Structure 1
């Protein structure tokens, strides 16, 4: 249903299908009780997302077969019990295999009703009925004031859709900034019931989660079991406990039954605990009187082959949750004022876009850039994949940032130290010999990435060999060299997708094809060749790939263990490689050899330590959740965007920058923040001042009180991890909501099984 003009007229790539198929193959093998043969037939493996290549390689190493091919037909096998697939492999041979099941990776299309709605609203669509946008305004439609996000602008995965959703919200709120708080209403909450003197009355709500839990676990049996546990006075079984109807009913039951503790046996508290806490608030209970038993992630999903054991384990988990809830006590929070200004680290396209978005909504921004001038990698690019002029755009963006009275620019500056917490940060920056303290409520990190310098293919040893950005400089400053060239070769995946750097740099394939097309337009008679491992022109970028082939650009595939060789010549280089179709070794004399070199993360270790955020194994800044929180860090009040997160094209960097600004606004728009609740509290009578808790605290939330020589916790910084309670030999730290009484009750309950 995609990459196909003959059968469906969908010449674009649907972006998600490759990774979807790999994931399903892995899951099918995991869920099968017998060894399962899974084969994926593909043209190009497009696992260009963050950590996607790792997943692909792990799948291949663990037995999933990947067959580069073009499938001709799928027909019933002669025995009537299976399916027979006929295909052409990458060597041009016709092959045939039999399978019990064939799963089709069907393409994504826009619904006709959605397209009709867009036309009614006066929104311009492309020939595939996706919203027409440009690289510099990726969520803006042709009609002012109407914004689009997700697959409606083009095929994309969940992380990018979530980013675009926040970006669209940011774009909309820029227009509405003047009306902010003019129609604000205060939510009326029921008065919190004092349950301190009441005997525990526990209500247990057991969720089927559709078939996620109910398809494996005997939920009625678990509910019946829970009804006999100490303190339990009410039990209910739900199809989806997280649905709004069930939430409303739960609040009503709490009031009617006089419940003062609630146990929800469902999925992970990581995503759903805040929802149930809100329900308790609406029922007049302290929100910390809810306990969750994760009978999905920790049970039905991992014991799907043994329903009886899964049911027994669900009972154990519920029993433990009830035991802990029996000893739960209300916890309370305090409020702190918010400093309503932002710090943006990095003055490239992403950093400037984020700063401008915040400033347009009325919030002061300090923009810190380590270089003497703004612009980052954007100053080095020639054009976008849609052939939009990068030089003009970057100059316009810089001018707009420099002229905005709410943006204070600090160039040639670096972060020296960061203190504080969400809503109340204090950052010291160094500019030459001078230092400056900046107070801010949130921080956005957009420090970018860099093009690596290859150590192969004669780079640095022959004038004809250059990188992408160096070729872009030729386009901008010396187009004559391109006009005179007879032959130009591009080599993809230089220094990436190998054991040392097992990731895809995402932009390189599209960049090479865009450059190759530009070369052909400048010099139509030039011979242009692209040597690739997989062409990853995902989404509508696939149209560029088609255009390149129609212009006569020739593509040859190579493998990671059979790389091209480059031999120095007089004024040129000779590129030799094996062609799998012809079965011969070919040689091309190239006047220009462009290397699609790996994109590297900067050394962000100092910055990561300062802001108490994490980097992954490849050096990229690590988001809180790849799908649900793609621009948040685990550290509250700190956000990320641009290529510091992972390599991405200009439109995606801009969308992510707007998304980060949108997420930052959720803090900046508030007068106060709530702190406390599940935090550690130090008993000064037990504290010996050994500082073991300070050494293990990953958030820097504990310090020594100089007057008492005992440790104390900053509630705003504490995230309730409990490391201090585990490390202290005196048991001075107590993690509220997880005190010894509660944990010992859980342990005794677990051992009772």
Structure 2
């Protein structure tokens, strides 16, 4: 849409965002916690603003930038590099609105320039998240407790469980959170409900019956076109009524109409009814991307007795109205082109048949840390056998080195209880000190070979969960490995738990954040380190209140309710010094007056000069890095890794525990660094996704897969090399060696289709004829070629 300011409707050219409005404030009307999502939301708004107006000047006033989600650091850097974008670390006061220009003045201060006043066309407040206003009444009705901030009080070892058994919570009512956490938390709540009512599973379900499919493959195409307003998303740019009139002029189009929201229940039924009434045998929906809504519209065709593959979607939103909002005339011409191309393809569509695959009701979980064990227990508690494979000699993963959380959880006691439950569960088969030697198969019917105790076991299972965990980076900087007084945070925690006198009796301790991450070779935030430093600082202040503790940081990312612990640490005289990445702290080992010390030199941004801190110990907040076995696991199970070595989910927000490979799921720190409660929540979420598969008897495979014309195949192997899903192999035929596609493994990506030099492979539903017809329709008049 258009960006206009409320006061006079003008297009603002100079915009300020003010962070932490109503959050991180211990004042009347404010909230002491961090709302967690605002920093990245603001960055998104800045990027969208610059896309609408490249000349816009965007300024973000902030305290800390807390972009600690997966890939958020890259998003932050992308925003920071935009021309005309400024990030200014300062508290601000809004001065006044200027009566003539309607602009707003803001006062702020910087270390270099002192107090300044600047005029902006528009000021945007990044307001925090509050619990719902009437939530106390709802909580009382359900008999659940709220925490000190008015959000749902949850179990420390199960963040989805409320104070009342049988009532679960998901989403932002747990506390401020982003979309991925909300999505896998919701799936996890479903899984825990499933554990309670497993004995009733399927008792109330009824099978959906579709009308018999009409054979229209040989009939003259009768195409119906449905053009969606998508509210104002399409309708404000594209002239929808004119588009309907245009569609009626196209060959074989016998019916066209507009709809406010084609994806609405009433609109979908309208498509079904019109298909029956008008005798349609092909349907074009001119709306949004097929990425999310194509299954819905295919279902509407099935309800009309039409093969679901007689549908084509013309994307006039993402490909047109959204990207051409300022060029309405050209956008309408492009929308006509897109609809015309879609109708041309629809005329050539062929009916395809999907097929059902039997589902093995057993699951394989790879990784025996907190995530793997939690996921395995949830699946087993719902009546399914689970094979749990762990490469180490003990279960527990990296949590074996942790002893307490910021919130006070006894990690070792929790881990002992979790391990006991796993060993005592009759449906969980454990493989310790094990390696996976081979993995094959497809969704519902996987086969994995596991070597453990000198024997190889062949496991047949319907679903796989990757929970291979993460590791702590071993630093090469700050004298680590050269001086035993330089340790990582995990090593510090182990020494505190053991009661090491050298640690507990130290006079001073310095912690350095972001060691090995938020830099070029590891361009991500490890998410947990800031909170872990606060945890160790508070624990040491509890044991030795006189100890001087310094935390040297870039942005203190104590998001959510962890902000309260940040404030507590400051109140207990833990000192915080910020550094810039281009001016990192320096460390040297020196001896003065018979005392061996570590001298840490850092630039104090407030004093504007270098200061030296003499420390007895130096603790490094080392990066959390991907597990050593991640690459091997990705190759075995044919799943993808992201640029930082963590596993890449199917969709960052909508499918945060799914892989692109059907039947394979992920959870825990193998996905991305996260705290123990978040790991537990995601593990339950993965279990919930597994149960959506294992609770069925069959899995329906797509009909849009590749097929080989053996007469054209020359057995060159180009298709086999191109296929990322190992869906193609050579087989002997009476005509010799030929390529054959396993339709169960094929994902219809078309790579083999493009690589084949003899056009022997064809991708159903995207045939050469269909695509060429779209190209021809894009240029209805002969194109003049100038040589």
Do they superpose with TM above 0.5?
yes
Measure, in 2, the Cα distance between the counterparts of 1:322 and 1:670.
37
Measure, in 2, the Cα distance between the counterparts of 1:85 and 1:176.
57
Match of 2:367 among 328, 346, 354: 346
Aligned to 1:677: 703
**Quick check: 1:647 aligned with 2:673?**
yes
**Structural mapping, 1:305-316, within 5 Å:** 305-316=326-337
What do the CA deviations read for 1:408-448 (whole angstroms, capped 9, x no partner)?
11111122221110000111222365322111101000111
Measure, in 2, the Cα distance between the counterparts of 1:91 and 1:520.
34
Shift of 1:288: 0.9
- Are 1:165 and 1:659, in contact at CA under 8 Å, matched by a contact in 2? yes
Aligned to 2:742: 714
Q: Are residues 318 and 534 of structure 1, via their aligned partners in 2, closer, same or farther at CA, if it must alter by over 3 Å?
A: same
What do the CA deviations read for 1:565-609 (whole angstroms, capped 9, x no partner)?
111134431111111112232221111211001111124222112
Aligned to 2:541: 520
- Are 2:360 and 2:461, in contact at CA under 8 Å, matched by a contact in 1? yes
Measure, in 2, the Cα distance between the counterparts of 1:608 and 1:219.
46
More off after superposition, 723-732 vs 695-704: 723-732
Aligned to 2:390: 369
More off after superposition, 253-262 vs 629-638: 253-262
Scaled by the length of structure 1, the TM-score of the pair is 0.98
- Are 2:604 and 2:611, in contact at CA under 8 Å, matched by a contact in 1? yes
Aligned to 1:549: 570
- Are 2:111 and 2:608, in contact at CA under 8 Å, matched by a contact in 1? no
- Are 2:378 and 2:687, in contact at CA under 8 Å, matched by a contact in 1? yes
How many positions carry a matched residue from both structures? 752
Q: Helix, strand or coil: the match of 2:106?
A: strand
Aligned to 2:498: 477
Aligned to 1:467: 488
Q: Helix, strand or coil: the match of 1:185?
A: coil
Match of 2:528 among 507, 510, 520: 507
Aligned to 2:11: none
Aligned to 1:271: 292
More off after superposition, 431-440 vs 516-525: 431-440
Q: Helix, strand or coil: the match of 2:602?
A: strand
Aligned to 2:682: 656
Aligned to 1:616: 642
Aligned to 1:561: 582
Aligned to 2:218: 197
Measure, in 2, the Cα distance between the counterparts of 1:383 and 1:615.
31
- Are 1:263 and 1:325, in contact at CA under 8 Å, matched by a contact in 2? yes
- Are 1:77 and 1:98, in contact at CA under 8 Å, matched by a contact in 2? no
**Structural mapping, 1:272-311, within 5 Å:** 272-311=293-332
Aligned to 1:36: 56
More off after superposition, 389-398 vs 595-604: 595-604
Aligned to 1:726: 754
**Quick check: 1:637 aligned with 2:663?**
yes
What do the CA deviations read for 1:245-279 (whole angstroms, capped 9, x no partner)?
21121111111111110111111111111111111
**Quick check: 1:87 aligned with 2:108?**
yes
Measure, in 2, the Cα distance between the counterparts of 1:689 and 1:483.
70
Match of 2:82 among 62, 76, 79: 62
Aligned to 1:589: 614
Aligned to 1:743: 771
- Are 2:94 and 2:104, in contact at CA under 8 Å, matched by a contact in 1? no
Measure, in 2, the Cα distance between the counterparts of 1:75 and 1:60.
28
Measure, in 2, the Cα distance between the counterparts of 1:180 and 1:118.
28
Moved over 4 A (4+): none
**Quick check: 1:73 aligned with 2:73?**
no
- Are 1:345 and 1:447, in contact at CA under 8 Å, matched by a contact in 2? yes
Shift of 1:89: 2.8
- Are 1:488 and 1:592, in contact at CA under 8 Å, matched by a contact in 2? yes
Aligned to 2:15: none
**Quick check: 1:48 aligned with 2:76?**
no
Q: Helix, strand or coil: the match of 2:134?
A: helix
- Are 2:496 and 2:504, in contact at CA under 8 Å, matched by a contact in 1? no
Measure, in 2, the Cα distance between the counterparts of 1:316 and 1:459.
63
Q: Helix, strand or coil: the match of 1:706?
A: strand
- Are 1:70 and 1:89, in contact at CA under 8 Å, matched by a contact in 2? no
Question: Structure 2: which 5+ residue stretches go unaligned?
Answer: 1-21, 782-787
**Quick check: 1:389 aligned with 2:417?**
no
What do the CA deviations read for 1:28-56 (whole angstroms, capped 9, x no partner)?
01111x51100000000010011111111
Q: Helix, strand or coil: the match of 1:335?
A: strand
RMSD (Å) for aligned C-alpha atoms: 1.4
Match of 1:124 among 142, 145, 148: 145
- Are 1:72 and 1:88, in contact at CA under 8 Å, matched by a contact in 2? no
- Are 1:346 and 1:368, in contact at CA under 8 Å, matched by a contact in 2? yes
Question: Structure 1: which 5+ residue stretches go unaligned?
Answer: none
Shift of 1:479: 4.2
Shift of 1:693: 1.4
- Are 1:69 and 1:90, in contact at CA under 8 Å, matched by a contact in 2? no
Q: Helix, strand or coil: the match of 1:167?
A: helix
Measure, in 1, the Cα distance between the counterparts of 2:351 and 2:136.
51
Match of 2:439 among 399, 402, 418: 418
**Structural mapping, 1:440-451, within 5 Å:** 440-451=461-472
Aligned to 1:625: 651
What do the CA deviations read for 1:313-367 (whole angstroms, capped 9, x no partner)?
1111111111111111211022221111011111111011111110000111111
Aligned to 1:601: 626
Q: Helix, strand or coil: the match of 2:162?
A: coil
Measure, in 1, the Cα distance between the counterparts of 2:483 and 2:758.
66
More off after superposition, 144-153 vs 722-731: 722-731
What do the CA deviations read for 1:174-222 (whole angstroms, capped 9, x no partner)?
1111111222211122222221232111111111212222222222222
Measure, in 1, the Cα distance between the counterparts of 2:112 and 2:541.
29
Match of 1:141 among 162, 186, 198: 162
- Are 1:92 and 1:581, in contact at CA under 8 Å, matched by a contact in 2? no
Measure, in 2, the Cα distance between the counterparts of 1:676 and 1:137.
37
What do the CA deviations read for 1:469-495 (whole angstroms, capped 9, x no partner)?
101101221343333111111111111
Aligned to 1:575: 600
More off after superposition, 210-219 vs 163-172: 210-219
Measure, in 2, the Cα distance between the counterparts of 1:292 and 1:90.
55
Match of 1:257 among 269, 278, 284: 278
Shift of 1:291: 0.4
Shift of 1:692: 1.9
Aligned to 1:217: 238
Aligned to 1:231: 252
Shift of 1:516: 0.5
Aligned to 1:188: 209
Q: Are residues 415 and 109 of structure 1, via their aligned partners in 2, closer, same or farther at CA, if it must alter by over 3 Å?
A: same
Measure, in 1, the Cα distance between the counterparts of 2:59 and 2:442.
50
Measure, in 2, the Cα distance between the counterparts of 1:309 and 1:616.
38
- Are 2:550 and 2:576, in contact at CA under 8 Å, matched by a contact in 1? yes
- Are 1:482 and 1:523, in contact at CA under 8 Å, matched by a contact in 2? no
Scaled by the length of structure 2, the TM-score of the pair is 0.94
